[in-house]
Structure formats: C-alpha cells, structure tokens
Amino acid sequence: MQTNRFDDPDLAYRQLAEAHRGLTAEASAELNARLVLILANQIGDAEVLAEAIAVARRAGEREPRKP
C-alpha cells in the first residue's frame, strides 16, 4: 500500500480530473502520456520510477476489467 503524500488528496484528484474535462479519449491519453513523462523526469531516480511502475501494474491487476 502506498502512503498518500498529498496534504489534500481530494484536491489532487480534482486537478487531474479537471485536466481531462472536455478532451477526447485520444487527447486524454496523450495528456496522460505527457504527464507521465514530466513526472518521471521530476522523480529523476530510476529505482523510484521502477517502484512506481510496479505499484501501478499491481493496482491495475486488482481492478476488474471492463468489457
């Protein structure tokens, strides 16, 4: 389980959701790709990035698949 490091996690969620408002699925995916690369660069540590990728993959494996 990851520790939430945001002072206001609801605000962080709203900011991410709002960034996608009005975008097509393709534009939303492109925004996510750019955001991932920007945040990976901000992390700047390959080991920390690898850990984050592993956490994200495990979380995705627990989520039910949509038809």
Mind listing the pLDDT tens digit for each residue in 22-50? 999 999 999 999 999 999 999 999 999 99
Contact 40, 49 (CB under 8 A): yes
- The pLDDT confidence band at residue 3, using thresholds 50, 70 and 90, is confident
The share of the chain scoring above pLDDT 70, in percent, equals 91
Greatest pairwise CA separation for the chain in angstroms: 36
What amino acid is encoded at 66 in this protein?
K
pTM of the entire structure?
0.75
Helix (H, G, I), strand (E, B) or coil at 5: coil
- Kindly state the average pLDDT of the residues 44-62: 92
Contact 19, 31 (CB under 8 A): yes
pLDDT recorded at residue 67: 60
